[in-house]
């Protein structure tokens, strides 16, 4: 049985990210029925900036929240990052969460599921570079163009996200999920 940790990389409480996470969970339940899934939502799971007095590489964590984060990542066989594209890159909350740890990431199997009205190609490329630099094993990336999924330019929420099942992103996620 594999342990899968889904990380909602947006700190926005109302976002398409919630729908993306539910889609990932639904896909996992359909194709990896024995997987145990945990979700960390960076909108509610707060990791204060510069809260730790020691470098992450030492593994000496002071904050209880960092200790919990370390435990969740360590226990996961696969981490799936559900990440929006903000100005061609990933959100600060996600970078902060990644930077809170070091050794926990080594050889960790990861998947990037990125979403954006423009297609999210920039964030998948940039984030994959960072993840590989930290010696993670990137199993694959999925790009979800939310413009065609009822994207609201004012709130940033895609109100018709369920239509993702009709896109190439659905097939890409299924192909990746079948690998673990």
pLDDT of residue 129: 97
- Which band of pLDDT confidence, cut at 50, 70 and 90, is reported for residue 165? confident
**138-148 pLDDT, tens digit each:** 999 999 988 87
pLDDT of residue 2: 92
- How large a percentage of the chain has pLDDT more than 90? 76
> Residue 38: which of 92, 74, 85 has the closest Cα?
74
pLDDT of residue 1: 75
Look up residue 178 and give its DSSP letter: T
- Which band of pLDDT confidence, cut at 50, 70 and 90, is reported for residue 105? very high
- Which band of pLDDT confidence, cut at 50, 70 and 90, is reported for residue 149? confident
**38-73 pLDDT, tens digit each:** 999 999 999 988 789 999 999 999 999 999 999 999
- How large a percentage of the chain has pLDDT more than 70? 100
Look up residue 161 and give its DSSP letter: G
pLDDT of residue 48: 87
- Which band of pLDDT confidence, cut at 50, 70 and 90, is reported for residue 14? confident
Mean pLDDT of the chain: 93
Residue 162 pLDDT exceeds 90: no
Residues 6 or more apart in contact with residue 9 via CB below 8 angstroms: 17, 42, 81, 82, 83, 84, 90, 91, 93, 94, 97
Residue 156 pLDDT exceeds 80: no
CA 27 to chain centre: 15
pLDDT of residue 107: 97
């Amino acid at each position: 049985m594999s342990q899968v940790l889904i990380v909602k990389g947006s700190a926005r409480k109302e976002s398409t990210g919630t729908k993306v996470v539910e889609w990932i969970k639904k896909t996992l339940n359909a194709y990896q029925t024995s997987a145990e899934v945990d979700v960390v939502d960076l909108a509610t799971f707060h990791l204060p900036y510069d809260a730790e007095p020691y470098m992450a590489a030492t593994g000496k964590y002071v904050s209880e929240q960092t200790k919990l984060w370390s435990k969740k990542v360590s226990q996961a066989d696969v981490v799936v990052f559900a990440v929006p594209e903000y100005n061609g890159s990933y959100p600060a909350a996600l970078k902060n969460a990644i930077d809170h740890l070091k050794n926990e990431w080594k050889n960790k199997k990861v998947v990037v599921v990125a979403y954006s009205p423009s297609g999210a190609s920039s964030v998948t490329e940039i984030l994959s570079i960072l993840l590989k630099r930290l010696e993670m094993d990137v199993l694959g990336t999925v790009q979800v163009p939310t413009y065609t999924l009822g994207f609201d330019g004012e709130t940033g929420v895609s109100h018709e996200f369920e239509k993702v099942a009709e896109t190439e992103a659905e097939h890409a996620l299924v192909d990746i999920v079948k690998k673990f």
